Structure 1
Amino acid sequence: MNVRILFVTFFCCWQFVVAQDNSDFIVVPFGSKVMLTATSEGAVSYQWYRNGAVLEGAVEEVYKADTEGDYSVISFNSDGCQSFFSQTVTIRFSERLLPPSGQKEQFFCAADSPLIADIEVTGNNIVWYDSPDEGQKLSADTLLEDGVTYYAAQTSGEEVESEERLGVTVRLDYCPDLGVNKSVDEMNPRIGQEVIFTLAVENTHWAPLQNVVISDKLPSGFDYRWHQADKGSYDISSGYWQIPHLDSWETAELNIRAEVLPQGEYRYAAWLETSEPEDTAEWNNLSTVEIEPSCLKIYNLFSPNGDGINDVFRIDCIEKYPDNTLEVFNRYGNTVFRQKGYDNTWQGESNVKNTISRNGQLPAGTYYYVLSLGNGTRSVTGWLFIMR
């Protein structure tokens, strides 16, 4: 819309109203707005009037008038003192209409089946056409087509149309899409073992996204240790990961380390809560990973003294991993015991040559083990103590 600026100057309470501009009658094309600006020495608030009636909410220094009428304003100073009325400014519309205003290229997603009614323009009684001159009128429920230009005219109450039309070219490839992917570094961890969950959020579209919020709350089967996000901020209490900005084709990543608890929920889900603009494809907004904790438990202390109590190096559930390999080292890094398919029968003897032992029995002390389960997972390492 065309905008005219009129300055009205007046003074509060103890002085007369004075106008700096003699433009007290303004004629503008239909659909225009006139910006009226009041200045008053010592004023802290204002009140605008049209045709002598209070304009509700019009209490600022500037008022944008879009309706015909006689406008005036008063001001108030900090003591509550009221000024005289300013001079009256009369606004009238000519018969010539301006075209609507708006962006000449607008973007939509074809999957939303957008209509002409979805095109955003500013004006009164908008009528759409398929050409800049004459042409065929189009209804509000006309489906938009990619690359087509639609033409909008503004009309008055008497059905007088603006001579010019606003052309808006439509693009239907604006389909913001975020992909959420959850993974874990160990699908069958032991109870008490720490695992790392990774959440990747990818903007798979050419348009940047703002204020992305992902729900990623750690379930009850895990005890939180730490987290690291390469973008935005993560709150462990609420489980919300907030990313202020994600560029086109950009991926953000959140890592959470947690200990596997003996009981609880082991299914871990993450999903998209919100984004600006909104995501248009829901199929990749949710990702779930579920671990199955292993009953594997390794006892670090045993006493092979023949009393029938705790005589062997015991590993619970080792029978579920028949392809396992156990290797034990002394503090110098030398192998002292090795067995494929360990079956809870080792009583602290060495089965490797050139090992310091007494009658094949290893001396009391601390040793270190590497247990390969033979199922493609990472080897389990730790220490054990032999008591004599």
Structure 2
Amino acid sequence: MLTLLLGSTHGWAQVCTGSLGDPVFTFDFGSGNEMKFPTTGYSFRGGSCPDDGQYSISKTETGCHDDTWHKVLKDHTGNDGYMMVINADAVAGKEFFSKETTIEGTNLGALCENTTYEFSAYILNLIKAGQFGFIEPKITFIIQTTTGEIIKQSDPTDIPPTGNPDGWEKYGVYFTTPPGVTTVVVKMVNNAPGGAGNDFLLDDIAFRACGPVVKAGIAGDVSVTQTNLCAGNSKTYTIKAEQPAGYANAKYQWQQNLNNGQGWKDMAGEESLSLTLDFPAGKPVGTYQYRLGVAEGGNIQSLNCRVYSNTVTIDITAYPDPPQLLPLNVCEGDPFTLTAAGGATYKWTGPNLPETSENPLVIANAGAGMQGRYTVEVISAAGCSTFRYVDVTVNQKPVIQLSNANPAVCGGDGVTISAFATDAKTYSWFPVSGLSNPNIANPVASPDVSTQYTVTVTANNGCVSTGMVLVTVKDRPVASAGEDKKIFEGQSVTLEGKVSGSVLNYTWSPPDFLDDPHSLTPVATPPVNKTYTLTVTSDNDCGIAESSVFIRVYNKLVLPSTFTPNNDGVNDILNIEALQTYPESIITIYTRDGKQVFRSKGYSKPWDGKFNGSPLPAGTYYYVIDLKNDTPTRSGWVMLMR
């Protein structure tokens, strides 16, 4: 029988590959704030870094020998539990775990004779993989009688290093109790010495019955081990188990575990390979689990001597209670979304809508044919269904009529733009710049530049439409006659006219003394002060523009080249013709070496060739004349002769 139901892993570690019973005992070193201490030949050390020949009880292993040991953040099961940290004794063969299989609190044996059991533990080599020169743990599992006789002993087996700090592995041994033996002592011994290496973690030690594989399933199909029944329905189920091999006189006992919390209990009278279950309509919602216990002959009466089949589960599932769906109003052409909740899957149907499992249900474009009632089947993970409904109303969007849709105006002018829609509630124009009122149907638009206005119309049903009006702004003509000019009598000046905008033609007026009145830059030679006006006519019916320029014509100065201040009544003064017409002008006269000999404002008294009342010698003198009218200063020389 053993060759059929038991197997080997790691080459040496004999562990059960058949069905297992509930543990006769487990030892997990505690959890939470409570530690469990083993019976061991090693000495205890608090913390998590034992020395050779010591052990610790710890939840993590992160602070010892970081260069060689794994950082282990949890025990084997990861349930806030403790594990045993073992640093091998220098002397090989030291026992690090021992326990007797008596009923807890008594000296009575907990086992059945002639029954196969598995003794196992989860072990992790603390030395990181890829390092050399370290000793590997070499563990022996020993089963012996209470008087010390060995019943079974595994070969000493290396616990290889791993690169995974969560790489726990199950190791163990199986054996059959001899006749008359109901209590054994189980031990684990480290057969390698300590020193460099041989450091490991131990957790979840277990001792339980082991037997041939027992398979059960619904209606005899061992591949079907779970089913669902919706609350309020009734059904009869038959669970069948396959005949297990290897028993001389197999006996059976069905157990049930109701709602995952009451524990496994024998079902009275259910002692065959088949179990029939009636689930009436009023059976409470919950999880109902079943399994078949198997043992040899009278051993079936002891829970410690049975092995069990796989668990078969029947879930009575409540119908989903999804929230109600509120009616939905949408606008034609808009998308809308319908969302159900409370289920694992969904099935939607509706007007012109094939059945779909999409949820949320997204309709990209609402049409008139999509109005009506939509139905969703809300399905739980167990397949129980509840239906919900939602009514969708598709409203028509307002139809906008635009008057004067694309007007053109001259810059600075305004134009009325208008929109109309039946059942309109509000109008809103954008952008608002240049509008007299953006919230009425027919504002006046006076934009500075061509602008496209968008009107948004909201109907009383809440639906919205938009329309667009382009207001084109035509350029008005712009004229610039340039800056005012100043010249002396007899001079000419070029006018600096400029035009912009939509220009048809331009002209200067009056045309007097202009070489070309139809040029933007004519040459003007007025003999007296003159104002010229540049007139520009548009070519887009946006009127005319005018700009004027004033030409100031100053009297021409005439300076003699010589004068003879000798009191003969002829040419006795420096007579500068027309200088007296510039009352703000200043004339200064200098000698050849730069000495000032005369200065006058307005030249009301001409220079008589004297300096401080004394006649100056004949020679060349230099003058500078500043007319104080923004014209360039004039300079030159005059010859004084005696």
Range of TM-score over shorter length = 0.3 to 0.5
Q: TM-score, normalised by structure 1?
A: 0.40
The higher-RCO structure (CA 8 Å, 6+ apart) is 1
Which structure has the greater CA radius of gyration? 2
TM-score, normalised with respect to structure 2: 0.26
